[in-house]
Structure 1
Amino acid sequence: MKLINIGFGNLVSSDKLVAVVAPVSAPVKRIVQEAKADGMLIDATCGRKCKSVLITDNNHVVLSAISCEAIQNRTEESEEQKDEQ
């Protein structure tokens, strides 16, 4: 299990991630609102603007203040470290 830093000391398991998307489209906003209503939303922005939405395999939705590109780079770095071991 590899953990990815999604900002401000918050970590998410890379094994559980299904998608990392930008929060600007209406369907993504709808997903966030539904997750909030269902109690499945995790806000890891620490009061900052949401720049990415992470969707997990167990339908949890995580908000992050780190951009999608930065999370992608961190995911790739953790996979490279995994390959080295």
Structure 2
Amino acid sequence: MSSKDPVGATREALAALTAAAARVRHEYGDTLGVRRLTTDVDRIAADLDELGEPKPGHVPGVDRGSLLEVPDDPYDESMWQDAESEGQHAH
């Protein structure tokens, strides 16, 4: 049973990660690496719990304000000067 919303899908993945981390702890014991892994998993769970609601007015997808408009005007021909010899070596 898979969740379609991103938070639900993340919670499902986190549940699998939590179970995998528990198996690692069982296999390796209480080592520093295992404690750090467990702390990281716990931190992810806490961060997920603190998400709250999306920003008001947030529309998932491309932020149109961050896009750069490229005009259809022709480029300055001088920009292509010497372009034919680019990468070629004289013999």
Tell me the TM-score range normalised by the shorter chain.
under 0.3
When normalised by structure 2's length, the TM-score is 0.25
Judging by fraction of residues, say which structure has more strand: 1
Q: Max radius of gyration: which structure?
A: 2
